[in-house]
Amino acid sequence: MTNDNALSQALAPIPVLGDLVHNWGWLLAQGILLVVLGTIGLGMTIWLTLASVFIFGVFLVIGGGVQIFQTFKCKGWESILWHALIAVLYLLAGLSIMSDPAAASTLFTLLLAGALVGIGFVRLIMAFQLRGARNWFWLLIGGIAAIVLGVMILARWPVSGLWVIGLFVAIEMIFGGWSYIFIALAAKEVGRKNAPTA
């Protein structure tokens, strides 16, 4: 296969991109916006943490309200009392989170740190079980990284509860934004290479 054939095959339309090859600009703009917002969020992790936790509380209240409304529409259902109890728990949890998002974020951070340490140890066990298999050490490194991150969060707890969630949200926005930017640029390139020539 010649280099020209290989290049043309590599630049052939990618079905999974669909109309994105023509509308890549919107995805690029979304990616840039997410990167900008995530970068701003890095500078205000405490506010981002409190806002994220508060919004989670709002979602719980909305979910509980919808379930309570449903209890009046489901007469004759044998599990209606359990359904109503779940709705009340949603409402109570949501209202308590909304009334004190700082305390809720501290508790969430403690749970997150514990989960990271637990996940890290499980990954270490899996890594040693797979020792000798190809690339098993990446699982080992992932386990060590999770444990270290969890211990670092625990070492600064409860103060870490005010910024960890906001930091994770900001980092996720930045990585998500860059992902969209690269996908948009790839779609632009495919569209440009496959545009009809005059």
- Cα(12)–Cα(6) distance, integer angstroms: 10
90: part of which helix (H) or strand (E)? helix 80-99
125: part of which helix (H) or strand (E)? helix 101-129
Burial class, 166, CB count within 10 angstroms (exposed 0-12 / middle 13-18 / buried 19+):
buried
Domains of the chain, residue spans: 26-190
pLDDT tens for each residue of the chain, 198 residues long = 455 555 444 444 555 556 666 677 888 888 899 899 989 988 888 888 888 889 988 998 998 888 888 877 777 666 777 878 888 888 998 899 899 988 888 888 888 888 889 988 988 888 887 777 777 788 788 888 888 888 988 888 888 888 888 888 888 888 888 887 887 887 777 767 666 554
| Structural contact between residues 136 and 127, judged by C-beta atoms closer than 8 angstroms | yes
